A and B are shown apart, each in its own frame.
Chain A
């Protein structure tokens, strides 16, 4: 299958180049780690989130911020490609059209996983004590990979529509802020009315609740199903939009 072969080649290309620029993963680890330290250690003692330790409470939100930070490199990478002559070479070749974008997405997933694992390690070092078993961690990984795919395709759209790599890199910043308006850092019930409505209905809340329930051995409710539906839906829509924008650039 040409799509698979081409996507794999593009994936290897993007992975090679991103491993040669390790600072992108570094930033994706450093910034969430700082936020986690600030919230968990500095504010941790005054935060009251019921039965939880505050550091245990915020780790899911921090992971989502890690993903948001890690995907900026995908937005920049896609934009870089679009600005340079190499995209004309790819477009003038008889290869799968989506593979150019898929390569960036798959390498972003690898970067995301590395950053997330390190951030969880840092969390552990500063007091995070999960009670998840092996199966729980497997489900956590699955939920996260699906979420990473969804967010990365959004970042690809940012990379395609941005005029410069700089603006492509700042567009996904919204994804970094959104976990604050979810169940990630404070219980939704404590929020003012409008924010509460938004937080209850945005996709990050069920995903964070799923991760938290699995990590801290709490009841899942319908959060797992909701997270999978949200992520799959975003992937389908964002992928279609991204490939369409990419194809339209050819006229």
Chain B
């Protein structure tokens, strides 16, 4: 499979603060890539450069064969960004927000696509309410739905900057399913997260960004091979608080990570 994103020796500093110190990676078409790192590691800076919102000091990056600095408009034509802060117009309704993006991108079937996305993101009942009345989870779902309000070409590459930060467990698991579906439909998903289990569950390839550098990169299996092998011990697996919570509130999402898997 060909690489849809290639990043080579990307550097970025703000005044005297070096945020990215030479970052390189490649992402295959149709895969889910997770950039993992703690707060301040430089994840958002990397996303902003790739999404043409910020320019690197040196190094290069290409998406769909276009240079993110020199051919920014072409890159914009094949990406969709969901930033860290919900990018919705609070004075518009959910449906109007979707229509706004569809009209801006001059989508031929804006209304039909808006209906599909409202259904897919469980927002049909609140479609006519102003986005300022939405809960955090609903806003986040609307936000991602807006990113998908484009032609096939405009959602080849989908950036999700910390999509589950601030979501409750049910919404987080629903979000994971949605991200998986995006990749199944053929999109390439670039995801940043600070949650290890999220990267573990979703990503085909994981890169760990630490203090501005990629310190490890590979599939989950590859990372497991490089780092200390698992010790075999007999342990009694206690349910996690998350499992208890989900059991009590009666939300049993198929495909959710099992605790047994996590304790390997």
Contact = CB atoms under 8 A, between A and B. Distances in A.
A16 to B, nearest CB: 7
A86 B73 contact: no
B81 A251 contact: no
Interface in A98-154: 99
Interface in B50-95: 51-55, 73-74, 76-77, 79-81, 83-89, 91-92
A94 B81 contact: no
A13 B92 contact: yes
| Most chain B beta carbons < 10 A, residue from A13, A16, A84 | A13
B123 interface: no
B217 interface: no
A22 interface: no
| Most chain B beta carbons < 10 A, residue from A13, A85, A89 | A89
Interface in A50-99: 84-95, 99
A5 B106 contact: yes
Contact of B87 (A2, A17, A20, A88): A88
A91 B55 contact: no
Contacts of B103: 5, 9
B146 A89 contact: yes
Interface residues of B, number: 34
A193 B51 CA distance: 56
Contact of B92 (A5, A10, A16, A21): A16
Contacts of B128: none
A90 B101 CA distance: 9
A6 interface: yes
Contacts of B106: 2, 5
Nearest to A86: B87
Given A84-B87, A85-B83, A16 B73 contact: no
A251 B54 contact: yes
A219 B37 CA distance: 73
B76 A94 contact: yes
Of all A-B residue pairs in the complex, the 5 with the closest CB atoms, nearest first, are A85-B87, A85-B85, A17-B91, A89-B87, A94-B76
28 contacts: A2-B106, A6-B104, A9-B103, A10-B104, A13-B89, A16-B92, A16-B96, A20-B130, A85-B83, A85-B85, A85-B87, A85-B88, A85-B143, A86-B87, A86-B88, A88-B53, A88-B83, A89-B83, A89-B146, A91-B52, A92-B81, A93-B76, A94-B73, A94-B76, A94-B77, A94-B105, A95-B104, A250-B54
